[in-house]
Chains A and B, each alone.
Chain A
Amino acid sequence: MIENFYGPKASQSKYWDPYSQTLPREELDKRHLRQIQRIIKFAYENTAFYRELYDKAGFKPDDIRTWDDFYYKVPFVDKPDFMKEQDERPPIAMPGLPREHQHAFLMTSGTTGSPMRMAYSRYDEVSSGDMYPVIWWDGGIRPGDSFYFCFTFGPWAALWCAYWSVKRMGGIVYSGASLSTEDRIKQIMAFRPTVVLGTPTYILHMAEVAEKMGVDLRQAGVKMLCGGGEPGFNVPVTRQVLMEKWGVERIGDIYGLSETVSACVECKQGDSGGVHLHEWNFHGYAVDPDTGKPVKEGEVGEHIITPYRRLGQIFIKYRTHDLVQFDNHPDHGCGWSWAFLPGSVLARTDFMVIIRGVNVFPTAIENLLGQVPGASHHYEIHITRDAGLDKILVKFEAREGESSNDFADIAERAKALYHNKLSLGVDVEVLPPGGLPRYELKAKRMFDHRPKEVRRKLER
């Protein structure tokens, strides 16, 4: 007789790992400090970069005994450090393991500059495969369910992590690689996958193409849309539109960086509007991006991340340039003890705009756009500087069927909404449907045209 895929007790579990996901905060923090000490020691002993960095900073791994030691003695590392290192000691920066232990060389998507090369060992593959099942298991997805991959398998890590995760949890992969959007829609209607994976922008685009094809995706039987790469899944209005167009009850938002692998996952309490840090694999905290000092719990700061199980390539106190808020004692009903980041990523530090003293987050602009009658969800935000003041231009497409005669009225409605809700003067340009580019991976939403010298610079 063929046995069940999971044992009798595991198959009844509410959590992917009941022990780690509910461990009390004090215990989690004790583990974090021990793991931080171990990864610092491992990095010092195995990578020339960290050895030189820590020697220059004047400490040895054994000197890191307290949280203050970690916060104030250990230097940050940033993407430019890795780019410089991969040029000087090619092909990979900060490898933690020798070449024979490496398994895959991948790349970042390069949305914020030149792509960074990344090394994944078999250990990284297995720990990466631990990320997505947390969200899937929580959402009732089980072996026998199926996953449609709405992207081409390129050198981008997140796609491989999703694949490793399906392998790990159990599930059927349908690959839409190299197919057109129309063909992917036909496949989805034929295969009826349980989960569709992709970026929110692309999944929304698929819904629009399906409507033009006369296909009702709500009939595909999809239970969950899952992915990341952009804030859309945690922007309430975008989330709502996606759920309606696909007829799904669950969205699974995943936030992370290609470099360090997906670090944060959404729990079943989707209305809580954020993600949890996977505290078994990562340490994370928020700092003032200008001073580098930790901010208080609940305050907005730059996310600093240390993955413990990225041994193929080591990141310790890595600057994400993402602005987040930490709630270290979440109590919204999911039962997870892992830190919660309300709103997921609020903005990029390098794209944060200050208009008359007000911090403007692009996600707020996207969210309000959904409340403008006649506006679609395809938009771009352009930041310029005029006479010493930052200005914002929001370009967005009108919805299908809107007459171009009405574009001026739609623009006025958008301007009024931004003024009322954000107390912000925003310029608006309405384009016909299809007037902006479409992206299969991360959509480019932000365009900063300000002179380099006035863009926000981070202390290193």
Chain B
Amino acid sequence: MTREDMYNRLDRIRRELREIRQETDSPAVDSCLREMGVYLYNALLYLGDPDEITPEELR
């Protein structure tokens, strides 16, 4: 798997996480997914370019 493949797959997971967060009625579940999103953002920073410096949900 190339770095680009990794980036794209993680980015897809991040989008899916955000979709689930919009739909869940449970703050307990939402809070777990938010934490995952923060770590995913960090992983994407390692794999991506400097434009990714701001998390998507904060743009």
* A9/B24 in contact, CB under 8 A: yes
Give the residues in chain A near B30, CB-CB below 8 Å. Answer: 6-7, 10
CB-contacts of A1-50 with B (<8 A): 1-3, 5-13, 15-20
Q: How far does the Cβ of A333 sit from chain B's closest Cβ, in whole Å?
A: 21
Q: Is the interface of B mostly helix, strand, loop or mixed?
A: helix
| Residue picked from B25, B29, B35, B59, most chain A C-beta under 10 Å | B25
* B31/A133 in contact, CB under 8 A: yes
In the assembled complex, the Cα of A77 lies from the Cα of B23 at a distance in Å of: 43
Q: Does A168 have its Cβ within 8 Å of any Cβ on chain B?
A: yes
* A133/B27 in contact, CB under 8 A: yes
In the assembled complex, the Cα of A1 lies from the Cα of B59 at a distance in Å of: 5
* A7/B58 in contact, CB under 8 A: no
* A3/B28 in contact, CB under 8 A: no
CB-contacts of B1-59 with A (<8 A): 21-32, 34-35, 57-59
In the assembled complex, the Cα of A21 lies from the Cα of B1 at a distance in Å of: 42
Give the residues in chain A near B59, CB-CB below 8 Å. Answer: 1
CB contacts between A and B, total, < 8 Å? 57
* A168/B23 in contact, CB under 8 A: no
Q: Does A137 have its Cβ within 8 Å of any Cβ on chain B?
A: yes
* A17/B29 in contact, CB under 8 A: yes
In the assembled complex, the Cα of A168 lies from the Cα of B27 at a distance in Å of: 10
Q: Does A170 have its Cβ within 8 Å of any Cβ on chain B?
A: yes
* A17/B26 in contact, CB under 8 A: yes
Give the residues in chain A near B58, CB-CB below 8 Å. Answer: 2-3
Interface flags for A268-310 (1: CB within 8 Å of B; 0: not) read 0000000000000000000000000000000000000000000
Interchain CB contact (< 8 A) of A8 among B22, B28, B32: B22
Give the residues in chain B near A10, CB-CB below 8 Å. Answer: 21, 24-27, 29-30
Q: Is the interface of A mostly helix, strand, loop or mixed?
A: loop
Give the residues in chain A near B24, CB-CB below 8 Å. Answer: 7, 9-10
Q: Does A248 have its Cβ within 8 Å of any Cβ on chain B?
A: no
* A13/B22 in contact, CB under 8 A: no
In the assembled complex, the Cα of A10 lies from the Cα of B26 at a distance in Å of: 5
* A133/B57 in contact, CB under 8 A: no
Interchain CB contact (< 8 A) of B27 among A1, A6, A126: A6
CB-contacts of A123-137 with B (<8 A): 126, 130, 133, 137
In the assembled complex, the Cα of A263 lies from the Cα of B30 at a distance in Å of: 22
Q: How many residues of A contact B (CB 8 A)?
A: 25
* A9/B28 in contact, CB under 8 A: no
In the assembled complex, the Cα of A1 lies from the Cα of B54 at a distance in Å of: 12
Given A9-B22, A10-B21, A17 and B57 contact (CB-CB distance below 8 Å): no
Q: Does A169 have its Cβ within 8 Å of any Cβ on chain B?
A: yes
In the assembled complex, the Cα of A16 lies from the Cα of B31 at a distance in Å of: 10
Give the residues in chain A near B34, CB-CB below 8 Å. Answer: 5-6
Interchain CB contact (< 8 A) of A133 among B22, B28, B35: B28
Give the residues in chain B near A9, CB-CB below 8 Å. Answer: 22-25
Interchain CB contact (< 8 A) of B28 among A7, A11, A12, A16: A16
* A19/B26 in contact, CB under 8 A: yes
In the assembled complex, the Cα of A11 lies from the Cα of B21 at a distance in Å of: 10
Interchain CB contact (< 8 A) of B21 among A7, A13, A18, A20: A7
Using CB atoms, name the residue of chain A closest to B25.
A9
In the assembled complex, the Cα of A137 lies from the Cα of B58 at a distance in Å of: 24
Give the residues in chain B near A2, CB-CB below 8 Å. Answer: 57-58
Give the residues in chain A near B21, CB-CB below 8 Å. Answer: 6-7, 10
Using CB atoms, name the residue of chain B closest to A142.
B27
In the assembled complex, the Cα of A240 lies from the Cα of B57 at a distance in Å of: 44
Q: How far does the Cβ of A121 sit from chain B's closest Cβ, in whole Å?
A: 16
Using CB atoms, name the residue of chain B closest to A168.
B31
* B35/A168 in contact, CB under 8 A: yes
Q: How far does the Cβ of A132 sit from chain B's closest Cβ, in whole Å?
A: 12
In the assembled complex, the Cα of A20 lies from the Cα of B26 at a distance in Å of: 10
In the assembled complex, the Cα of A20 lies from the Cα of B34 at a distance in Å of: 20
Give the residues in chain B near A169, CB-CB below 8 Å. Answer: 27, 31
* B25/A3 in contact, CB under 8 A: no
Q: How far does the Cβ of A18 sit from chain B's closest Cβ, in whole Å?
A: 6
Q: Which residues of B contact A (CB under 8 A)?
A: 21-32, 34-35, 57-59
Given contacts A9-B22, A18-B26, A130-B28, list 5 more A-B pairs with CB under 8 A. Answer: A3-B57, A6-B30, A12-B25, A13-B27, A17-B29
7 contacts between A and B (CB under 8 A): A11-B27, A13-B25, A16-B28, A17-B26, A18-B25, A133-B31, A137-B27
Q: Which residues of A contact B (CB under 8 A)?
A: 1-3, 5-13, 15-20, 126, 130, 133, 137, 168-170
10 nearest CB pairs, A to B = A17-B28, A10-B30, A9-B25, A7-B21, A3-B57, A10-B27, A7-B22, A17-B26, A2-B58, A16-B28
